[in-house]
Amino acid sequence: MSKQFEDFDANLAGEEGKTEETKTSWFKRLTKGITTPSSERKETPEGLWTKCPECNYICTINDLREQLFVCPTCGFHHRIGSHEYYEILFDDNEYTELFENIRSKDFLGFTDLKPYQKRLEETWSKSNLKDSMRVATGKVGGNDIVIACMDFGFIGGSLGSVMGEKFSRAVDYCIQNNMPYMVISKSGGARMMESAFSLMQLAKTSGKLSQLSDAKLPYISLLTDPTFGGISASFGMLGDLNIAEPGALIGFAGPRVIKETIKRDLPEGFQRSEFILEHGFLDFIVNRKELKEKLAKVVTLFKN
């Protein structure tokens, strides 16, 4: 009877006829690759699919990248960083990054939800960004140019002392090498954690642009979604050409704050680039897919 129960248990577990060595568990995965250690498994990449916030069109990140992060159905321009803009604009994706050794410092010992120094260290560890602006030089359509681009992923692309210093050094570099200057803005405004140090960058950057103007070198300002606060109040709107991407939200205070302040409904499309163009604050709006061609043409016209 005992043997009968043993055989029955073995049959139930699928272990009939197996040795004691193989009967270590009632279930064993024998298919090749299934027993791969967790550390060696190829997991599905995060963010493989993305949905357009405007029309809900779903596609893969790779498909969207091929479209330069512009929705193929409605034309919505997804937010991208400096790396993607440089990839789009510079010839053969060849450029030299300038002033990458500068980093922010907590002069004031500022603490809000967490110490400012800790916030900086966490951002540095999570990304390859040194600050909210990168500066690079290369060729666009065969023309030498310096392009400074903001990264919203670094504390909301906020304007701090490092951004102001990089901006100023970029202007000096343009004057020394007789190059045009372009800034791609994407920011929530001044960085409150640096207080007056941040606010003084508005005057500093505006003053440096007057030197660029005296040297008769062009300054092109590209405003992307979103561009707010101290950026729009200073160098964002001081370009020889002020251009923007379609649908970009541009202003000083946000529409919700304005609505709550004046207690009135805002016009349709308020603070969008199309609305701002209509009211004379922009020279033109350019689709990201046409940006490189337009920029090359503009730089050539300035040169001649």
* 267-283 residue pLDDT tens: 988 999 999 999 999 99
For residue 250, what are the β-bridge partners? 227
pTM: 0.82
pLDDT in tens, 182-216: 999 999 999 999 999 999 999 999 999 999 999 99
pLDDT at 128: 85
Q: Is the pLDDT of residue 13 over 60?
A: no
Q: What is the pLDDT of residue 46?
A: 54
Our measurement of the distance from residue 217's CA atom to the centroid of its chain's CA atoms, rounded to an integer in Å, reads 27
* Confidence at 120, pLDDT banded by 50, 70, 90: very high
Residue type, 208: K
Q: How confident is the model at residue 48 (pLDDT cuts 50, 70, 90)?
A: confident
Mean pLDDT of all residues in 120-148 = 94
Label residue 14 by pLDDT band (50, 70, 90).
very low
